[in-house]
Amino acid sequence: MSTSRQIHLVRRPKGTPEPADFAVVEVETPDAGEGEVQVAGVLMSVDPYMRPRLDADQALGEPLLGGGIGRIVQSRNPKFVEGDLVRHGAGFRERFVSDGRGLAVLRPDPDLPLTVHLHALGGTGLTAYGGLLQVGALADGEQVFVSTAGGAVGSTAAQIAKLKGCYVVGSTGSDEKARWLRDDVRLDAVINYKQEPIGEALARATPKGIDVYFENVGGAHLDAALPRMNVRGRIPVCGMISVYNGGGEPVRGLFNLIYRRVRMEGFVASDFTHLNAAFQSDMTGWLKSGQVKYQETVLDGFERAPEGLIGLFEGRNTGKMLIRLTDDGGDAL
Ligand code: NAP
C-alpha cells in the first residue's frame, strides 16, 4: 500500500473552467493483487473533449477521465512485465491498479520521442488522418481549410493535406503559431483570427473556394467557411472548441449546404481503428523524414493538469498539451 494523487472534478464549471473546479486528492493505492498490475503514470494527454464531459458525464469526486502512458511497476498478471510501457484510459491518476483491461503494451519507436505516441502517432494523428482522408474524402490537389491549424489535430491535418498536393489555408489565434505555420509548415495562407475578421480573411485566402473544411472550431469559423464551400464540398466535423464552454457565435450560413451539395459529417477517432496499420506506417515515415512536423507543450508536474486543460481554451498550448509526471520519461520508475 502506498499513497498517490488523483485530479478530481469538485464543482461543475460555469463557462471556462477555473482552478477551483478541480482538486488534487491524495488516496491510498493498494499493491497489485493476483491477476493485477500497478501502473505509474509517465505522461497524460490533456484534450478539449474533456470539457463538455465536465457538464454532466464526469462524476464529481472521481478522477478526471483521460488517457496517457504509464509504466508497469508491479505485475501479477502474465500479460504484463514490470517495466513495460502501456497506453491507458484510466484517468488522471498518478498510480493505479488494474486487471489489465484497457491497457495496451506500447513498444515506442526508439528513433522518436515517447511523447509523439500521445499525439502525432496516437489518437490525435489518427483523428486527423481518418477525418481528412476517409470522412473528408480528400483528393489530391484540392482546396483545403483547417481551423486551429496550430494545434495538435489541426497541424497534423494541414500537413497531410499539403502532402496530398493540396492548397491549404490554416487559421490560428497567435502570431507565433501563424509564423510557424507559414515559415516551417509552409501552408499556402495563414489567418490569425484574433487580428482580422475570419470571414473577410478566409474569402481573400480562398480564391478557388474550399473543397474540404476540416472543422475544429464551429461558430464564426464555420459561418465563414460555409459560403466559401465548392459544389460537392465536404466538412469533416472533428470538433467545435468555440462552443465547449457554452455560448459561442451563431451559425447562420447552413443553407449553403443545400445548393452546393455539401456533406457535413462528424466522427470520433475510434471510427478509424481499421486505418491504424496504414496510419502508423505512413505517419512514422512522415515524422522520420520531417515531412510532418509537430509542436508540443509539456507541463511538468501531475498537479498542473487542470492548468493544462484550462489553457486549451485560452490558446496557451502550442501543439499537443501534455503533462509529464516524471522528469526521466519514466525510465527510473
Ligand atoms: P489543440 O488544437 O491542440 O488545442 C486547442 C486550441 O484551440 C487552442 O490552442 C486554441 O488555439 C484553439 N481555441 C481555443 N478556443 C478557441 C475558440 N474559442 N475559437 C477558436 N479557437 C480556439 O487541441 P486538439 O486536441 O488538437 O483539438 C482540436 C479540435 O479537435 C477540438 O475541437 C477537439 O475537440 C477536436 N478533437 C476531436 C477528436 C475526435 O475524435 N473527433 C479527437 C481529438 C480532438 P489558437 O491559439 O489557434 O486559438
CA of 4 to the centre of ligand 1 (A): 30
| Closest CA to ligand 1's atom 8 | 315
Chain-centre distance for alpha carbon 243: 16
In 3D, which of 183, 152, 181, 151 has the Cα closest to residue 169? 181
Q: What is the pLDDT of residues 166-188, one digit of tens each?
A: 999 999 999 999 999 999 999 99
Band of pLDDT at residue 238, cut at 50, 70 and 90: very high
Ligand 1 pocket check: which of 46, 54, 134, 153 to mutate, most ligand atoms within 8 Å of Cβ? 153
Q: Mean pLDDT, to the nearest integer, of 247-254?
A: 93
Q: Which atom of ligand 1 approaches the CA of 269 most closely?
A: 40
Q: How far apart are CA 93 and CA 98, in angstroms?
A: 12
Q: Enumerate domains of the chain plus CATH numbers.
A: 2-118+294-332 (3.90.180.10), 128-267 (3.40.50.720)
Q: Which atom of ligand 1 approaches the CA of 239 most closely?
A: 32
Band of pLDDT at residue 151, cut at 50, 70 and 90: very high
When the pLDDT of each residue in the chain is averaged and rounded to a whole number, the result is 96
Band of pLDDT at residue 1, cut at 50, 70 and 90: confident
* Cβ 239 under 6 angstroms from ligand 1: yes
The three cell numbers of residue 90 are: 484510466
CA of 75 to the centre of ligand 1 (A): 37
Residue 244 — left, alpha, or beta (φ > 0 → left; ψ -120 to 50 → alpha)?
alpha
Q: What is the pLDDT of residues 84-101, one digit of tens each?
A: 999 999 999 999 999 999
pLDDT of 195 > 90? The answer is: yes
* Cβ 156 under 6 angstroms from ligand 1: no
CA of 38 to the centre of ligand 1 (A): 32
- The shares of helix, strand and coil residues in the chain, as percent rounded to the nearest 5, are 30, 25, 40
* Cβ 322 under 6 angstroms from ligand 1: no
Q: What is the pLDDT of residues 116-129, one digit of tens each?
A: 999 999 999 999 99
* Cβ 154 under 6 angstroms from ligand 1: yes
Q: Which atom of ligand 1 approaches the CA of 316 most closely?
A: 9
* Cβ 148 under 6 angstroms from ligand 1: yes
b/e sequence 111-134, b meaning 16+ C-beta within 10 Å: eeebbbbbbbbbbbbbbbbbbbbb
Band of pLDDT at residue 333, cut at 50, 70 and 90: low
pLDDT of 16 > 80? The answer is: yes
pTM flag (> 0.95): yes
Percent of the chain with pLDDT over 90: 96
